[in-house]
A and B are shown apart, each in its own frame.
Chain A
Amino acid sequence: EIVLTQSPGTLSLSPGERATLSCRASQSVSSTYLAWYQHKPGQAPRLLVYRASTRATGIPDRFSGSGSGTDFTLTIGRLEPEDFAVYYCQLYGSSPPHTFGQGTKLDIK
């Protein structure tokens, strides 16, 4: 089973700053099957990026995904107040389980 490890566990930044979130796979994976989600308390998760770099419908262009092999990154170009949340990467290819990383909490500094 492939394990996804996200870092940092918590990222404290101010609105207007740039956020860089990392997701590392325990073995090389196809970028076709890597997604990022945003999750706020009391709400359902929201798909941000899939295929490692394709933004989902309606997602602002300040969100961008990149990476390949074992290392993937979600970048939020200029933080808005509504961006403070928990972010998860997910691998949805090949055999189940379609693992999630443990999450990165982005909070306001």
Chain B
Amino acid sequence: QVQLVQSGAEVKKPGASVKVSCKASGYIFTSYDITWVRQAPGQGLEWVGWISTYKGNSNFALEFQDRITMTTDTSTSTAFLELRSLKSDDTAVYYCARSLLRGELSPLSDWGQGTLVTVSS
């Protein structure tokens, strides 16, 4: 069965960087893309960005453009989200999710368990 297992919780100081991993299993990794979504405390879901696991190209929400990197390691079926210059507003649970359909325009059918990133001095 499809599984996405994310790395553990992180505590970072403002201005630091964090890298969250998402290891996929149960399917061919490069056949379905990965999206990252976050939820700040008490807030709703926020789309962060998307990466093609086949081509490696990506799209991000504008607010993250200068400080985000999404990558994949196809040899280990793992996707990574790196966020730099962290602010307290980045405190959130970060989810990775797999596309239901092939291609960029797809709903999200399978989700990781979430990784809590806390940014605090």
Contact = CB atoms under 8 A, between A and B. Distances in A.
Contacts of B45: 37, 39, 45, 88, 90, 100, 103
A67 interface: no
B61 interface: yes
Contact of A98 (B44, B50, B95): B50
A101 B44 contact: yes
Contact of B107 (A39, A44, A47, A97): A47
A80 to B, nearest CB: 22
A84 interface: no
Interface string A40-53: 00001111001000
Contacts of A35: 107-108
Interface size class of A (residues with CB under 8 A): 20 to 34
Which secondary structure dominates chain B's binding surface? strand
A39 B93 CA distance: 13
A98 B35 contact: yes
Interface string A90-102: 1011101111111
22 contacts: A37-B45, A44-B111, A44-B114, A45-B37, A45-B45, A47-B109, A56-B100, A56-B107, A56-B109, A57-B109, A90-B47, A92-B105, A92-B108, A93-B105, A96-B60, A97-B47, A97-B61, A98-B35, A98-B50, A99-B47, A100-B45, A101-B44
Interface of B: 35, 37, 44-47, 49-50, 59-62, 95, 97, 100, 105-109, 111-114
